[in-house]
Amino acid sequence: MTVGLWDVAILTELLRQHGKLPDAQTARHVKAQWQWRRRPRALVVNVLSVALHALFAAETKELGLLREACFAYLARGSYFTMHPSGFLSGLLPSPLLLIFHFFSVAFLAVYLRISGSSVAYSGGSLAFRVYSAFYTLYIAAGVILPVIWRELQP
């Protein structure tokens, strides 16, 4: 719904700039501008929604660790909370910043696992914790990168 409302706002602005669309060439130009201006916001909202669904709907230990890291990350306050809220609301359409925050959560999950302070995924020797921590990072990349790739396709 957020993306749809922003689409209407962007298209209204573009149509206001061009006035009446006298020919098909101008209409195609406006459509192309609209598609490129909507892309960052649509990418951020769609990728975030799919990634959060993957984190909160799955029942694997690695995704449980990422879910725990997500709550720990948000509990830090400041921009750790403001930026993700901006992504969800559509007010912060920055795909690179989304990737930064997503992998910050993933590296926090790595830290929680290696340090042994994770509740979701506890136990094991140090070697196993290191292995499972980096496997969790692999799983995190497998959650977000295919979705970003699909969103970037024309």
Percent of the chain with pLDDT over 90: 61
- Residue pair 74/81 in contact (Cβ under 8 Å)? The answer is yes
Write the pLDDT tens digit of every residue in 19-73.
777 788 888 888 899 989 989 999 999 999 999 999 899 889 999 999 999 999 9
Rounded CA gap, 129 and 110, in Å? 9
Does the pLDDT value for residue 94 go beyond 90? yes
Q: Which residue has the higher pLDDT, 122 or 74?
A: 74
80: exposed, middle or buried (Cβ count in 10 Å: 0-12, 13-18, 19+) = middle
What per-residue confidence (pLDDT) applies to 133?
94
Rounded CA gap, 132 and 110, in Å? 8
- Residue pair 68/28 in contact (Cβ under 8 Å)? The answer is no
Choice among 25-39, 71-85, 100-114 with the minimum mean pLDDT: 25-39
Is pTM beyond 0.75? Reply is yes
Q: Which residue has the higher pLDDT, 24 or 127?
A: 127
Rounded CA gap, 137 and 97, in Å? 18
Helical (H) or strand (E) element with 116 = none
Does the pLDDT value for residue 83 go beyond 80? yes
Cβ neighbours around 119 below 10 Å, total:
9
